[in-house]
Amino acid sequence: MVNVIGYGIICAIGNNAEEVLSSLKAGKTGIGPMHYLQSSHRELPVGEVKLSDEEMKRMLGLDEKKVVSRTVLMGAIAIRQALEQTLGSMVNGQWSMEGKRVVLINGTTVGGMDITERYFKQMQTDDALLPLVEKHDCGSATREMADLAGLRDAEVCTVSTACSSAVNAIILGAEMLRRGEADIVIAGGTEALSRFHLNGFNSLMILDKEPCRPFDKTRAGLNLGEGAAFVVLKASPDPSKGGGKQSPGVSPVYISGYANRCDAFHQTASSENGEGAYLAMTDALLMAGLKPRDIQYINAHGTGTPNNDASESAAIRRVFGEDIPPVSSTKGFTGHTTSASGAIETVICILALLHNFIPANLGWQEQDEDCITPVPLQFSLKGKIKDSLPLREGRGGSILCNSFGFGGNDSALVISKKTAPLQPSPEEGGFKVQTLGECIIDNVEQLGELRDFVSPGEARRMGRLMKAATITSLKALRAAGVECPDAIITATAYGMLETSEKFLTDMLENGEETLSPTLFMQSTHNTLSSAIAIRLGCHGYNMTYTQGGDSLEWALRDARRLIETGRARTVLVGCHDEATPMFQAFLRRMGKPEPPMLYSRSIVLSATNS
């Protein structure tokens, strides 16, 4: 079983768990006018962490002039808080966990983008700024964060499934603990506001100029937020086997169920019946051995966009029928903290469970027949804010936390005060893994083959790497004789570098208007995995690893875990990366080897029949 033994959080409504708890109970939002982000879109309200980069560096004991991504700073602060709860204090700036296998798993999408966008133009001519190139990708941001947080010796891993990244980080951590691959896991996510992703979401026309109103009839989009949250996880012995006694000071909270599924519908929209969300919730409950009526509160993904909230409501109605537990989205407090949101909301759920209250759904006033009815802020007759409602009575003391992402990367967690042994047990299965098919593309000229698989109409929006990944995936599947795999796992160090670079260049040269949504929607690392899922109609497990040169190894480990435990018979693993002339020039100036312009390798793994 997986025990939460510490948690840390920093977001728009507080710089630590205590402040967050007090804002939640007081119904106090953290969304407001832009203060730290330097964007021309002053009309857009945001949920900023109320600290400057310099203040955060001081908190971490860093030189204020050192260039460090805000994503890294917030993450390091949250990790330190989480470890302080369990370990007390650091020795020489590092946590002492000798003899323990410690793994840090981070969910992020922007990585060091805030730094890249600030220095991008100068980097093209000024050699002194070149080291920043190596701080851009998500994996190196995680590595730097581990060092600053006092986890220099920890193994690090980064997952990137857009807005569900942090929940998938927690799911991976729980899996590793259950399989005995680690002794301590620190898992969560961090994401700073950047002009890149503010403008990206703006190009999709899903940002509201007013404070967001999740599930309200008049809702008109989301407000972006930022922050970080991490939980410290440890495997606890099964009580039926004589274990389960709490060590003193350990919070009695468990990750008691989880599921990662794919909506496989559209790159930036959720399906009408919320299939991915429905599967994620249903399977998380199944794993926890719980019935829908056992859930005391649902922390919804609830972004405030017309599409998400209607789709999520449809899915909740499908799972819970007439007996829907109290639901709220806490994004009216924090804004949508994208990749970090799953961890921020996990910590909010832990606080709700430990302090027995339902966080309010700020901004909700008018019922929408397409949406569930959330728990609004409670007012007295005199119009004063009243205390939050207590959690609904429930058997196990359990909360469901939803976290969905672009591309239909939908995940759900069950967080409980008590837990039964999770289903299936990690030892079950005992299957062996074999390779059924493989395909590699390392040359742009090979992309002509796309015509054999995809119509020109479908291909017109695909970037180069997407084309390569599509060909190798489909050819590997054909060689394996597999039509639709049970799971899709992608490894990519930089993701769709070409489209990201185009969007960034356009934004910096032509300003923050009239930017292309097509470029932005391809810039998230999980685009490849989810596009293939959409093409194949694959609703199973869908994951993207972005840990530099280690990404493929992480992806293969994950595939083996799924197959050996019998949760997947066939898994499509892809390793896809590309370079651009500008990126190659950066590395040339640094005296580093130039990466290939294009590399895509797909492998189909399966359980052996013996």
- Residue found by looking up tokens 């701080």 in the block: 135
| Contact stretch for other proteins (CB under 8 A) within 76-84, 266-274, 388-396, 435-443 | 266-274
Q: Which of 136, 197, 301, 539 is catalytic?
A: 301
Smallest CA-to-CA distance from 520 within 40, 208, 227, 109 is with 109
* Residue 211 interacts with other proteins (CB under 8 A): yes or no: no
Is 484 assigned a catalytic role? no
Among 456, 509, 593, 609, binds other proteins (CB under 8 A): 456
> With CB under 8 A, what is the number of residues at the site for other proteins?
17
Among 360, 515, 556, 572, binds other proteins (CB under 8 A): 515
* Cis ω for the linkage preceding 45 (within 30 of 0): no
* Residue 517 interacts with other proteins (CB under 8 A): yes or no: yes
Among 69, 142, 267, 419, binds other proteins (CB under 8 A): 267
Is 336 assigned a catalytic role? yes
Q: What is the DSSP string of 326-337?
A: PEE-THHHH-B-
Smallest CA-to-CA distance from 308 within 190, 458, 208 is with 208
| Contact stretch for other proteins (CB under 8 A) within 144-152, 344-352, 455-463, 545-553 | 455-463
Question: By C-beta, is 135 or 467 nearer to other proteins?
Answer: 467
Smallest CA-to-CA distance from 231 within 83, 34, 413 is with 83
Q: Which residues of 40-68 are buried (b: 16+ CB within 10 A; e: fewer)?
A: ebeebbbbbbbbebeebbeebebeeeeeb
Q: What is the DSSP string of 269-322?
A: ---TT-HHHHHHHHHHHHHHT--GGGEEEEE----S-HHHHHHHHHHHHHHHTT
Residue 432 backbone dihedrals phi, psi, to 5 degrees: -100, 155
Q: Please, are residues 186 and 83 in contact by the beta-carbon 8 Å criterion?
A: yes
Q: Compute the least distance from the CB of residue 453 to other proteins, in Å.
A: 16
Gap between the Cα atoms of 4 and 82, Å rounded: 10
| Contact stretch for other proteins (CB under 8 A) within 63-71, 160-168, 198-206, 387-395 | 198-206
Gap between the Cα atoms of 254 and 96, Å rounded: 24
Q: Please, are residues 555 and 489 in contact by the beta-carbon 8 Å criterion?
A: yes
* Residue 268 interacts with other proteins (CB under 8 A): yes or no: yes
Q: Please, are residues 578 and 454 in contact by the beta-carbon 8 Å criterion?
A: no
Is 266 assigned a catalytic role? no
* Residue 590 interacts with other proteins (CB under 8 A): yes or no: no
| Contact stretch for other proteins (CB under 8 A) within 286-294, 471-479, 510-518, 537-545 | 510-518
Among 203, 260, 299, 547, binds other proteins (CB under 8 A): 203
Q: Which of 336, 525, 539, 576 is catalytic?
A: 336
* Residue 506 interacts with other proteins (CB under 8 A): yes or no: no
* Residue 272 interacts with other proteins (CB under 8 A): yes or no: no
* Residue 204 interacts with other proteins (CB under 8 A): yes or no: yes
| Contact stretch for other proteins (CB under 8 A) within 319-327, 334-342, 368-376, 516-524 | 516-524
Question: By C-beta, is 188 or 200 nearer to other proteins?
Answer: 200
* Residue 513 interacts with other proteins (CB under 8 A): yes or no: yes
Question: By C-beta, is 59 or 454 nearer to other proteins?
Answer: 454
Among 250, 269, 433, 454, binds other proteins (CB under 8 A): 269
Assigned token pair, 401:
């936390």
| Contact stretch for other proteins (CB under 8 A) within 11-19, 137-145, 203-211, 227-235 | 203-211
Calculate the CA 357 to chain-centre distance: 25
**Amino acid present at 195:** R
* Residue 452 interacts with other proteins (CB under 8 A): yes or no: no
Question: By C-beta, is 16 or 518 nearer to other proteins?
Answer: 518
Among 146, 521, 538, 579, binds other proteins (CB under 8 A): 521
Q: Please, are residues 200 and 267 in contact by the beta-carbon 8 Å criterion?
A: no
Residues 6+ apart with CB under 8 A from 375: 326, 327, 328, 358, 360, 361, 389
Q: Compute the least distance from the CB of residue 511 to other proteins, in Å.
A: 12
* Residue 460 interacts with other proteins (CB under 8 A): yes or no: yes
CA angle 438, 450, 526 (to 5 degrees): 65
Q: Compute the least distance from the CB of residue 9 to other proteins, in Å.
A: 34
Residue 385 backbone dihedrals phi, psi, to 5 degrees: -70, 125
Residues that bind other proteins (CB under 8 A): 203-205, 267-269, 456-457, 460-461, 513-518, 521
The residues carrying an active-site annotation are 163, 301, 336
